[in-house]
Amino acid sequence: MKLVFQKESLMNGINIVSKAIPSKTTMNILECVLMDASSNEIKLTGNDMELGIETKVEGTIMERGTIALEAKIFSDIIRKLPDSDSQVTIVSDERLVTTIQCDSALFKIQGRDPQEFSYLPFIEKDQYICLSQFSLKEAIRQTIFSIAPNDSNKMMGGELMEVKDNVLKLVSLDGHRISIRNILLRDNYDSRKVIIPGKTLSEISKILTGDNEKDVLIYFSKNHILFEFNDTMVVSRLIEGEYFKIDHMLSNDYDTHIKINKKIFMDNIDRAMIMIRDNDRKPIILKVEENNVNMRIRSSFGSMDADVEAQKTGNDIMIAFNPKFLLDALRVIDDEEVDIYMLNPKSPCFLKDDEGNYIYLILPVNFIAED
């Protein structure tokens, strides 16, 4: 095998597929990137058996062939080669010894037998949806923060993707909050529900350009999901089981509604969090009266009080939240003003828009009222 690349193009391909290389594994072949130039195009593949990524890389095929190279050393070599517009020549012989040359730099590394590598599972391309890269990247950004950070509950470590007619819904939750984002699609599709691992969505969001003019095709099978965009394919195993029933939690009942400037509200929460350390989980207390929200936090480090103007309808209320949960939701809402609906100090509050594009449910926390 003999291939010639521009360094920048090759490095970009390696960066994409490396997102599917496991940091720890007992199967050494999974630590490799597969370079396949057996046809008229060059493909790089990484696969940890749960998540697989394949991308096409521009280059010249002087001699066809296939080789598996240890991802970390391969990536480090290419990264440290001369300028990004330099030419990189890669040659593998019958003993799988691979030579990497760029200007005066010459490396030789031992490759692995490509036959040992696990290719991506085949996905029939008959059931799919189409949306812009921008829409998918934004929807992931606006929900991924509320998946559970550990594997104690597999369902909470993933997101529900539900398709119904011309609406795509993404849902995530961690036991303290729920994030829901709805996207209007250009066409109607058959109904479908799948649970996608959070890692898959996180890695996809890093690869997507976010271009509103470029599309993503998403294909479904019984056990896998395939995302296809920009000469790249991402295949992920789905989480098996039935997602949490959240509809009964999404009540429209409320006794208090406030409309508040998002930036001012966020800035005050951010300032309040100066008073908190990891082992001192003090809530932020909101006291809603007339057209004012008093924001108060007390901790062993000190206190902060602030008043923020808001439009209020309904009852006065005093309610407390984990400030991080409020801040996480506010950061991904693009509106200048945000609507917050509350029932009582023990019931969830909702941040949602009139159009139903997003819903963020946050559970309140217990607090001791102080004068």
pLDDT tens digits along 60-90: 999 999 999 999 999 999 999 988 788 999 9
Q: What is the mean pLDDT of the chain?
A: 94
Q: What is the mean pLDDT of residues 167-189?
A: 96
Mean pLDDT of 288-302: 92
* SS3 sequence of 128-162: EEEEEHHHHHHHHHCCHHHCCCCCCCCHHHEEEEE
Give CATH for domain 128-247. 3.10.150.10
Annotated domain spans of the chain: 2-116, 128-247, 251-362
For the structural domain made of 2-116, what CATH number should be given?
3.10.150.10
Classified by CATH at the fold level, domain 251-362 comes out as DNA Polymerase III; Chain A, domain 2 (3.10.150)
HSE of 226 in the Cβ direction (CA atoms, 13 Å)? 19
For the segment 187-198, the average pLDDT, to the nearest whole number, is 96
Q: What is the pLDDT of residues 205-220, one digit of tens each?
A: 999 998 999 999 999 9
What are the distances in angstroms from CA 188 to CA 16, 127, 128, 164?
31, 12, 11, 8
Cα dist. 49→13, 22, 52, 89, 314 in Å?
19, 9, 7, 30, 53
Asked if the model's pLDDT at residue 174 lies above 80, the reply is yes
| Cα-based angle 231, 235, 240 (whole degrees, multiple of 5) | 160
- Give the residue among 172, 58, 65, 149 at the shortest CA–CA distance from 114: 65
**pLDDT average, residue stretch 317-327:** 96
Mean pLDDT throughout 177-199?
96
pLDDT value of position 204 = 97
In 3D, which of 216, 218, 197, 220 has the Cα closest to residue 207?
Answer: 216
Distance CA 269, CA 274 (A): 9
b vs e for 178-192, b when ≥16 Cβ sit within 10 Å of the residue's Cβ? Answer: bbbbbbebeeebeee
DSSP label at residue 298? E
Q: How far is it, in rounded angstroms, from Cα 93 to Cα 338?
A: 62
Q: Above 60 in pLDDT, residue 295?
A: yes
- Strands 337-342 and 256-261, by their bridges, are antiparallel
| Whether pLDDT at 151 is above 70 | no
Give pLDDT, residue 279.
Answer: 72
Residue-level pLDDT at 84? 76
Helix (H, G, I), strand (E, B) or coil at 272: helix
Please classify residue 230 by burial: count the beta carbons closer than 10 Å to its beta carbon, then call 0-12 exposed, 13-18 middle and 19+ buried.
Answer: middle
Number of C-beta neighbours around residue 122 at 10 A: 10
pLDDT digits (tens, 9 = 90+) for 19-75: 999 988 889 999 999 999 999 999 999 999 999 999 999 999 999 999 999 999 999
Residue 370 has pLDDT above 70, yes or no: no
Q: What are the structure tokens assigned to 313, written together?
A: 């309808």
- AA letter at 62: M
pLDDT for residue 197: 96
Assigned token pair, 285: 């207390």
The whole-number average pLDDT for the span 142-167 is: 91
Share of the chain above pLDDT 70, in %: 99
Which amino acid does the sequence have at 368? Answer: I
Q: What is the mean pLDDT of residues 284-310?
A: 94
* Cα(362)–Cα(177) distance, integer angstroms: 4
> Is residue 119 over pLDDT 90?
no
371: confidence class by pLDDT, cuts 50, 70, 90: low
Residue 276's pLDDT is 85
Q: How large is the average pLDDT for residues 324-331?
A: 97
